[in-house]
Amino acid sequence: MFEKIVQYRFLFEELVKRDFKQKYKRTVLGVGWSLLSPLLMLLVMRVMLVGFFGRSTPHYTTYLFSGTLIFSYFTESTKGGMRTLRGNSGIFSMVTIPKYMFLLSKNVQTLINFLLTLVIYFIMAVIDGVTLTWKVVYLIYPICCLALFNVGISMVLSALYIFFPDMQYLYDVFTRMLTYLSAIFYTIDRFTPTGQKLFLLNPIYLFIRYFRKIVIEATVPTIWFHLLMAADVAIALLMGCFMYKRYNTKFLYYV
């Protein structure tokens, strides 16, 4: 895969530029929406939820922003990636090119947006009274893992979307349900020890929890926590690569 990216380096760079330009085409603020959109979402959610969940949660604004930041990146990346094959069928149906190039370019574009928003996240954390420590460098690990996890899930979704267009509606329902299962705006302290462990089965919660432990609690998760996250990433990538390898020749018959 890496050899193909190097071989088609120019095309890959142009695809990333195209995806980035398309996202903000004909908008007044342009890239500014990458920063403004999560802030507006955070403001709305904080006003609505602080009275219900934020009274006993230290640094609730940062707690909430950690959840919305990770979840927004995940949904934007996977939903965009799901449509890449159908959206670029006119290109790869006429030119021989690795189909995953379109998906990777979309994921790079969403990663850039995420990194831009991450700057605002740190600024808001300081305003919220959080003391940032040197341990924030550990965030490189979950960011890399989440980027790879998104690629794997996007590969699965994009393949399924070719054969089952209804997948986009099913995935919308799934992500809405996942919102309430990822402890974005509430804490899991009210659950039993067994219930709290069940949250670890949700990969998105792992990424959110990692950010909160590093930024708010200034503690590094355990080794097994890192291994569990790596296992989720490996499973997602293996599933994605399997789908593309098995159905690569069949995509053209359904687009």
Interval 206-217: pLDDT, tens: 999 999 999 999
- Per-residue confidence (pLDDT) for residue 77, from 0 to 100: 92
Residue 58 structural domain: 2-253
Indicate the helix (H) or strand (E) that contains 84.
helix 84-87
Interval 90-117: pLDDT, tens: 665 566 666 667 788 888 888 988 998 8
CB atoms within 10 A of CB 238: 11
Q: How far apart are CA 156 and CA 99, in angstroms?
A: 13
Indicate the helix (H) or strand (E) that contains 173.
helix 167-181
Which residues of the chain have a pLDDT value below 50? 28
CA atoms within 13 A on the CB side of 23: 23
- Per-residue confidence (pLDDT) for residue 28, from 0 to 100: 47
Q: How far apart are CA 178 and CA 128, in angstroms?
A: 27
State the total domains in the chain: 1
Q: What is the mean pLDDT of the chain?
A: 82
